[in-house]
């Protein structure tokens, strides 16, 4: 009676053991370990080069944000990992910018007494009458959201708060999320970790 010589076949092994036939297993223990190490190393390299959407990080939804100021004070980092981000396609490049100027500012210029940002992280540059380009100096920004509130109240909402993923230390229990009164923080896939508001279909914002 012929027997199939398959190393993994239990009956064959049993038969070999029982009859004393020498049966070479398909993989030795050493080979198995080598193969396992190769698979692990290859898989690790692939995962590093292709971060999965299922790896999660913290992000705040600007649609829920109330600009309460706690992103600036509650983060374990100083300054906060939350920064103002500018969605330029939504900006009106206004002269009288609600995110840049104090409400009721005596002059529409870059005087410290007229600027809304407490750390002068929002800069503006003249483009042409009457348009200005607004940029955020990320190193200075503390993520308080004053400019975001001014922009939302009077402008198009192009200034928005976001957790900068390269700065965030990815705490398991985000201190800001715990303090957020709007429940705006959520875990999002790292591959899609920014949640900026954008124009719907381009063009002018929807009225």
Partner 1 sequence: MQQEPTKNAPKHLPAWLWAVLTVAVVALVVVIAATDRGNEPGPAYKLDLKPFTKVDDKDVAFRQTARFPLNLEEPSALAVAGDGTICVAGKGAVLLLDGEGRETARHAVQGTPDAMAVAPDGKLLLGMRNHVRVLDAAGATLVDWKELGDRAYITSIAANDKDVFVADAGNRVVLHYDYGGNVLNEMGQRDPKHEFDGFVVPSPYFDAAFDASGLLWIVNPGRHGLENHRPTGELVSSWYRPGMDLNGFCGCCNPTHIAFRNDGSVVTAEKGINRVKVYAPDNTLIGVVARPDDLPATSDENDSHSPVKDLAVDKKDRILILVGSMKAILVYEPKETGTDTSVATATGRREDVSVPAFSGDRKP
Residues that bind partner 1 (CB under 8 A): 62-70, 72-74, 92-98, 103-104, 108, 116, 118, 129-131, 142, 144-146, 149-157, 175, 178-179, 182, 197, 202-207
Considering the complex, state which of residue 57 and residue 205 has its C-beta at the smaller distance from partner 1: 205
Considering the complex, state which of residue 117 and residue 188 has its C-beta at the smaller distance from partner 1: 117
Considering the complex, state which of residue 15 and residue 175 has its C-beta at the smaller distance from partner 1: 175
Backbone Cα Rg of the chain: 29
Nearest distance from residue 29's CB to partner 1, in Å? 52
Nearest distance from residue 56's CB to partner 1, in Å? 23
Nearest distance from residue 75's CB to partner 1, in Å? 9
Considering the complex, state which of residue 56 and residue 154 has its C-beta at the smaller distance from partner 1: 154
Nearest distance from residue 83's CB to partner 1, in Å? 14
How many Å from the N-terminal Cα to the C-terminal Cα in the chain?
85
Nearest distance from residue 173's CB to partner 1, in Å? 11
Considering the complex, state which of residue 92 and residue 189 has its C-beta at the smaller distance from partner 1: 92
């Amino acid at each position: 009676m012929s027997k199939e010589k398959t190393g993994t076949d239990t009956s064959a092994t049993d038969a070999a053991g029982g009859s004393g036939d020498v049966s070479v297993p398909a993989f030795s223990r050493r080979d198995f370990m080598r193969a396992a190490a190769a698979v692990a190393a290859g898989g690790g390299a692939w995962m590093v080069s292709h971060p999965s959407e299922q790896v999660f990080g913290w992000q705040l939804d600007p649609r829920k944000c109330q600009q309460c100021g706690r992103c600036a004070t509650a983060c374990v980092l100083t300054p906060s990992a939350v920064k103002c981000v500018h969605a330029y396609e939504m900006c009106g490049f206004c002269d009288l910018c609600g995110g840049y100027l104090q409400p009721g500012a005596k002059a529409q210029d870059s005087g410290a007494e007229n600027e809304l940002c407490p750390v002068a992280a929002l800069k503006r540059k003249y483009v042409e009458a009457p348009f200005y380009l607004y940029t955020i100096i990320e190193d200075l920004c503390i993520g308080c959201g004053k400019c975001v509130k001014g922009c939302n109240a009077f402008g198009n909402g192009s200034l928005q708060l976001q957790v900068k993923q390269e700065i965030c230390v990815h705490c398991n229990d985000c201190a800001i999320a715990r303090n957020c009164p709007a429940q705006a923080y959520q875990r999002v896939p790292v591959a899609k970790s920014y949640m900026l508001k954008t124009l719907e279909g381009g063009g002018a914002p929807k009225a």
